[in-house]
Structure 1
Amino acid sequence: MDNRNGRASWRGQLTLRGSIVGVLGCIIITASSAYTALKLGALPWPIVFAAVVSLFFLKLMGNASLNEANVTHTIMSAGAMVAGGLAFTIPGAWMLGLADEFGWQQIFLVALCGTVLGLLSTALIHRHFIVDAKLEFPTGTAAAETLRATEAGGKTGTQLFASMGIAGLYSLLRDGLGIIPTMLCTLPIPGVAFGIYNSPMMLSIGFLVGTGAMLFWIGGAVCANFGLIVGGSAAGLWDVATAQGIVASLGMGLMMGSGVATVLKDILPQVAGIVRGLRSSSSEQGEDARSLMSGSVRTDAGILGVGVAACALLACFGLGLSPVASVVVVALSFVTTIMSAQSCGQTGIDPMEIFGLIVLLAIAALGESSQVKLFFVAGVVAVACGLAGDVMNDFRAGHLLGTDPRAQWLGQALGGLVGAAVAAAVMVALVSAYGPDAFGPGKDFVAAQSSVVATMISGIPSIPWFVGGLVAGIALYWAKIPSMMIGLGVYLPFYMSFSSFLGVIVKLVFDKVAAAHRSSMTEEQKAAAAERDNEAGLVVASGTLGGESIVGVIIAFVAVFASLAG
Structure 2
Amino acid sequence: MMPNTPQISSPPLSIRAIVTGMILGSILVLCNLYMGLRIGWSINMSVLASLLGFIAWKGIGATIPCRAWSPREANIQQTAASAAGGTLSAGLVSAIPAYMILSESEFDYWPMVIWMISISLLGICVASAIRPAMLHNERLRFPAGIATAEVINDMFSGARIARHKTLALLSAMAVTIAHRIFIPVSYKIPLGFSIPGQGAVAGSSISAKNLGFIIDPSYMLLAFGAIIGTKSALSLFAGALIAWLGLGPYIVGQGWEQAGPADGHWFSYLIDWLVWPGVAMMLASAVTTTAISLFKSQKKARITLMWGWQEYLLLSVLTPILIGLQVYLFDISWFAAMLAVPLAFIFAIVAAQVVGETGIPPIGALGKLSQLSFSVISPGNLTTNLMTANVASGAAGQATDLLNDFKAGQLLGTNPRHQMFAQAMGILVGCVTSAGVFMLLIPNPAEQLMTEQWPAPGVAAWTAIAQALTQGLEAIPQSARYAMFIGIVVATLNELMLLVVKPKWHPYLPSMSAMGLAFVLPAQVSIMLCIGALLAWVLRQLAPRWSKRFLIALAAGCIAGESIAGVLGSLLFMIKP
**2-structure distance, mates of 1:365, 1:40:** 30
Are the equivalent residues in 1 in contact too, given 2:87–2:398 (CA < 8 A)? yes
Question: How far 1:391 sits from its partner (Å)?
Answer: 0.7
Indicate which of 521, 544, 553 corresponds to 1:492.
521
Q: How is 1:96-175 mapped onto 2 (pairs within 5 angstroms)?
A: 96=102, 98=104, 100-132=105-137, 135-152=140-157, 153=159, 154=161, 155-173=164-182
Determine the structure 2 residue equivalent to 1:5: none
Query: Which letter does structure 2 place at the counterpart of 1:418?
Result: V
Determine the structure 2 residue equivalent to 1:185: 190
Asked whether 1:266 is paired with 2:272, we answer no
Question: How far 1:501 sits from its partner (Å)?
Answer: 1.8
Question: How far 1:264 sits from its partner (Å)?
Answer: 0.7
Q: What do residues 235-287 of structure 1 show as CA deviations (whole Å, max 9, x unaligned)?
A: x697777976554322212212221122111134314766x4415xx3xxxxx
Q: What do residues 434-492 of structure 1 show as CA deviations (whole Å, max 9, x unaligned)?
A: 7642211x421111121011111223442332233223222212324321222223332
Asked whether 1:557 is paired with 2:571, we answer yes
**1-structure distance, mates of 2:335, 2:9:** 39
Determine the structure 2 residue equivalent to 1:215: 234
Question: How far 1:10 sits from its partner (Å)?
Answer: 11
- Using structure 2 for the length normalisation, give the TM-score: 0.82
Indicate which of 60, 70, 74 corresponds to 1:65.
70
Query: Which letter does structure 1 place at the counterpart of 2:75?
Result: N
- Using structure 1 for the length normalisation, give the TM-score: 0.83
Root mean square deviation of aligned Cα: 2.9
Alpha carbons of 1:340 and 1:250: their partners in 2 closer, same or farther (altered >3 Å)?
A: same
Asked whether 1:226 is paired with 2:255, we answer no
Question: How far 1:352 sits from its partner (Å)?
Answer: 1.8
Question: How far 1:500 sits from its partner (Å)?
Answer: 1.4
- Of residues 238-247 and 153-162 in structure 1, the stretch that sits farther from structure 2 once superposed is 238-247
Determine the structure 1 residue equivalent to 2:96: 90
Determine the structure 1 residue equivalent to 2:264: none
Asked whether 1:31 is paired with 2:49, we answer no
Q: Secondary structure of the residue that 1:538 maps to in structure 2?
A: helix
**1-structure distance, mates of 2:464, 2:573:** 30
Question: How far 1:93 sits from its partner (Å)?
Answer: 3.7
Aligned residue pairs: how many? Answer: 517
Question: How far 1:313 sits from its partner (Å)?
Answer: 2.3
Q: Secondary structure of the residue that 2:560 maps to in structure 1?
A: helix
Alpha carbons of 1:486 and 1:430: their partners in 2 closer, same or farther (altered >3 Å)?
A: same
Asked whether 1:438 is paired with 2:448, we answer yes
Query: Which letter does structure 2 place at the counterpart of 1:455?
Result: A
Q: Secondary structure of the residue that 1:198 maps to in structure 2?
A: coil
**2-structure distance, mates of 1:303, 1:505:** 46
Are the equivalent residues in 2 in contact too, given 1:49–1:539 (CA < 8 A)? yes
Alpha carbons of 1:253 and 1:299: their partners in 2 closer, same or farther (altered >3 Å)?
A: closer
Q: What do residues 288-334 of structure 1 show as CA deviations (whole Å, max 9, x unaligned)?
A: xxx5xxxxx34542333223223222322244322222111122122
Are the equivalent residues in 1 in contact too, given 2:83–2:430 (CA < 8 A)? yes
Q: What do residues 55-96 of structure 1 show as CA deviations (whole Å, max 9, x unaligned)?
A: 332334352222221111011111222124421332324554
Query: Which letter does structure 1 place at the counterpart of 2:495?
Result: Y
**1-structure distance, mates of 2:102, 2:377:** 22
Q: What do residues 200-236 of structure 1 show as CA deviations (whole Å, max 9, x unaligned)?
A: 11111111122233222212211222233346767x6
Runs of 5+ in structure 2 lacking a partner? 1-6, 62-66, 193-206, 260-268, 468-474, 498-505
Are the equivalent residues in 1 in contact too, given 2:208–2:214 (CA < 8 A)? no
Are the equivalent residues in 1 in contact too, given 2:452–2:522 (CA < 8 A)? no
**1-structure distance, mates of 2:138, 2:230:** 31
Q: How is 1:13-28 mapped onto 2 (pairs within 5 angstroms)?
A: 13-28=12-27
**2-structure distance, mates of 1:478, 1:504:** 26
- Of residues 306-315 and 156-165 in structure 1, the stretch that sits farther from structure 2 once superposed is 306-315
Query: Which letter does structure 1 place at the counterpart of 2:37?
Result: L
Q: What do residues 105-164 of structure 1 show as CA deviations (whole Å, max 9, x unaligned)?
A: 332233122112101111100111012455111211221222222333331112112211
Are the equivalent residues in 2 in contact too, given 1:229–1:244 (CA < 8 A)? no
**2-structure distance, mates of 1:53, 1:246:** 43
Indicate which of 345, 349, 353 corresponds to 1:334.
345
Asked whether 1:474 is paired with 2:484, we answer no
**1-structure distance, mates of 2:190, 2:465:** 34
**1-structure distance, mates of 2:111, 2:492:** 35
Identity among equivalent pairs (%)? 24
Determine the structure 1 residue equivalent to 2:483: 465
Query: Which letter does structure 1 place at the counterpart of 2:31?
Result: S
Q: How is 1:524-539 mapped onto 2 (pairs within 5 angstroms)?
A: 530-539=544-553
Are the equivalent residues in 1 in contact too, given 2:45–2:82 (CA < 8 A)? yes
**2-structure distance, mates of 1:368, 1:557:** 40
**2-structure distance, mates of 1:369, 1:418:** 36
Q: How is 1:410-425 mapped onto 2 (pairs within 5 angstroms)?
A: 410-425=421-436
Are the equivalent residues in 2 in contact too, given 1:111–1:379 (CA < 8 A)? no
Are the equivalent residues in 1 in contact too, given 2:225–2:530 (CA < 8 A)? yes
**1-structure distance, mates of 2:309, 2:419:** 21
Determine the structure 2 residue equivalent to 1:526: none
Are the equivalent residues in 1 in contact too, given 2:97–2:445 (CA < 8 A)? no
- Of residues 469-478 and 36-45 in structure 1, the stretch that sits farther from structure 2 once superposed is 469-478
Q: Secondary structure of the residue that 1:444 maps to in structure 2?
A: coil
Q: Secondary structure of the residue that 1:101 maps to in structure 2?
A: coil
Are the equivalent residues in 2 in contact too, given 1:38–1:87 (CA < 8 A)? yes
Are the equivalent residues in 2 in contact too, given 1:262–1:343 (CA < 8 A)? no
Question: How far 1:171 sits from its partner (Å)?
Answer: 2.4
Alpha carbons of 1:197 and 1:68: their partners in 2 closer, same or farther (altered >3 Å)?
A: same
Q: How is 1:243-262 mapped onto 2 (pairs within 5 angstroms)?
A: 247-262=274-289
Determine the structure 2 residue equivalent to 1:525: none
**1-structure distance, mates of 2:575, 2:532:** 34
**2-structure distance, mates of 1:509, 1:362:** 43
**2-structure distance, mates of 1:139, 1:109:** 29
**2-structure distance, mates of 1:142, 1:443:** 35
Question: How far 1:344 sits from its partner (Å)?
Answer: 1.1
**2-structure distance, mates of 1:266, 1:473:** 16
Alpha carbons of 1:244 and 1:363: their partners in 2 closer, same or farther (altered >3 Å)?
A: closer
**2-structure distance, mates of 1:557, 1:544:** 20
**2-structure distance, mates of 1:499, 1:300:** 44
**2-structure distance, mates of 1:33, 1:10:** 34
**2-structure distance, mates of 1:361, 1:232:** 28
- Of residues 302-311 and 404-413 in structure 1, the stretch that sits farther from structure 2 once superposed is 302-311
Determine the structure 1 residue equivalent to 2:200: none
Question: How far 1:431 sits from its partner (Å)?
Answer: 0.6
Are the equivalent residues in 2 in contact too, given 1:356–1:380 (CA < 8 A)? no
- Of residues 312-321 and 72-81 in structure 1, the stretch that sits farther from structure 2 once superposed is 312-321
**2-structure distance, mates of 1:488, 1:181:** 24
**2-structure distance, mates of 1:421, 1:248:** 31
Query: Which letter does structure 1 place at the counterpart of 2:434?
Result: A
**1-structure distance, mates of 2:9, 2:272:** 54
Q: What do residues 149-190 of structure 1 show as CA deviations (whole Å, max 9, x unaligned)?
A: 23333311121122112112222345xxxx423533266348
